[in-house]
Amino acid sequence: MKKITILGSTGSIGTSALQVIDQFQDKFKVSALAAGSNADLLIDQVRKYEPELVGINDVGSYDRLRSEFPSLKIVAGDEGMREVASYPETDFILSSIVGAAGLLPTIEAVKTGKTVGLANKESMVMAGDHVNSIARSSGSMIIPVDSEHSAIFQCLNGQDHRSVRKLILTASGGPFFGRTKDEMKDVTVKEALDHPNWSMGRKITIDSATLMNKGLEVIEAHFLFGAGPENIKVLIHQQSIVHSLVEFIDSSIIAQLSRPDMCGPIAYAMSYPDRLPDVVGSCALDEIGNLSFSEPDGDIFPCLGLAYRALKDGGSMPVVLNAANEVAVSSFLDEKIGFNEIPVFIEKVMNKHNIAHEPGLDDIIEYDKWARLTAEEIIGS
């Protein structure tokens, strides 16, 4: 019986992980749960799964949880999140807190030396070198949970990494693939949240619509697999069946295919090196029909190019990119800016930044704060 900690249990990845646990109750047991602010759902989860430790980032919800579960250990705030992440009575830690808020809990999880299922791409985007260094010291194994990186991880399993020529990440194109920039200038929040293939949280869904999600995944792939930006390619694949591909030096390509369901990569990470039966629906190629691929249009989706720029610039620039994007997406969701303005404001913040090479963890946190404040000031003006 494998004991599981879930950081971000009320989000889309966390709830999908609990679905996997429901399906395989003989293999998994919840040991700890942590959530951001959704106290109602967290209370329901605690009642059902009976974890040994519970954390909520929203300190205002602490007393309510305390009154609901007087005999349970409950922690709150940033310190509470880190305490749940480092809980020793667990075997596998799923890091699925959205955004930069997941960085420090992820680092605490990696410090434990446990296997970490990484669904918080921002940890690698902001501090990939630091996370990798800690993993080497602690002996922690990081298994990517994003469908694209899980696919690459699976394609590389048993392969000599020196024989890899290129990593190819696929993108659905989101709800606006095929539209012109003019056709997208007046899109509503509701339209942008209407993803054709995946069910995700609001922030990630907007990132998918702008292709920034793919840009962040390019940076994450660099730190996870050691590929340079020139060896990481993105292709639009609207069917979302081929999750990623690896091209080798003999020009052969290995791809991973499955239905677009996050339960698949979550279950693979949780059960690794084993596989679990019938986690997602069958991928019947004769029913799916055609699989198409095309180049993304950088003029219509400039966020992807900004991510490549941040990776090539290196140092603190990916931190700034991520922070500026989080502020811009939040502003769009609050209807303060238009959809096409998201990359405009991100680029303005990047242009103001003086890159620091080899920043320490404290520096990374400070650059994250600087970028957020700068983005808010630019948007507010």
Q: What is the mean pLDDT of residues 119-147?
A: 97
Q: What pLDDT, on a 0 to 100 scale, did the predictor assign at position 25?
A: 97
Q: Pairing mode, if any, of strands 2-7 and 92-95?
A: parallel
CA 162 to chain centre: 26
% helix, strand, coil for the chain, step of 5: 50, 15, 35
Task: Note whether 339 and 187 are within 8 A (CB).
Answer: yes
Q: What is the pLDDT of residues 76-109, one digit of tens each?
A: 999 999 999 999 999 999 999 988 899 999 999 9
DSSP per-residue string spanning 260-328 = S-THHHHHHHHHTTS--TTSS----HHHH-----B---TTT-HHHHHHHHHHHH-TTHHHHHHHHHHHH
Q: How far is CA 36 from CA 80, 100, 162, 289, 310, in A?
A: 11, 13, 41, 41, 28
Rounded to the nearest 10 degrees, what angle do helices 147-156 and 212-225 cross at? 30
141-158: average pLDDT: 97
Largest CA-CA distance found in the chain, in angstroms, rounded: 62
What is the reported pLDDT for 115? Answer: 98
Look at residue 144 and tell me whether its pLDDT is greater than 80: yes
- Report, as an integer, the average pLDDT of 25-34: 98
In the predicted structure, residue 198 carries a pLDDT above the cut 70: no
pLDDT digits (tens, 9 = 90+) for 224-254: 999 999 999 999 999 999 999 999 999 999 9
Task: Estimate to the nearest angstrom the gap between the alpha carbon of 60 and the chain centroid.
Answer: 26
Rounded-to-integer distance, Cα 80 and Cα 181, Å: 44
Percent of the chain with pLDDT over 90: 87
| 268-317 tens-digit pLDDT | 999 999 999 999 999 888 888 899 999 999 999 999 999 999 999 999 99
Which residues in 225-245 are b (16+ Cβ under 10 Å) and which e?
Answer: bebebebbbbbbbbbbbbbbb
Average pLDDT, rounded, for the chain: 95
Grade residue 74 by pLDDT with cuts at 50, 70 and 90.
Answer: very high
At 239 the pLDDT is 92
Confidence of residue 349 (pLDDT cuts 50, 70, 90): very high
- SS3 for 234? strand
Query: What pLDDT was estimated at residue 181?
Result: 82
Share of the chain above pLDDT 70, in %: 98
Average pLDDT for 186-215: 85
pTM value is: 0.93
> Domains in the chain, please, with CATH?
2-144 (3.40.50.720), 150-261+287-299 (no CATH), 314-381 (1.10.1740.10)
For residue 200, pLDDT beyond 80:
no
The token pair that represents 71 in the structure block? 């005999």
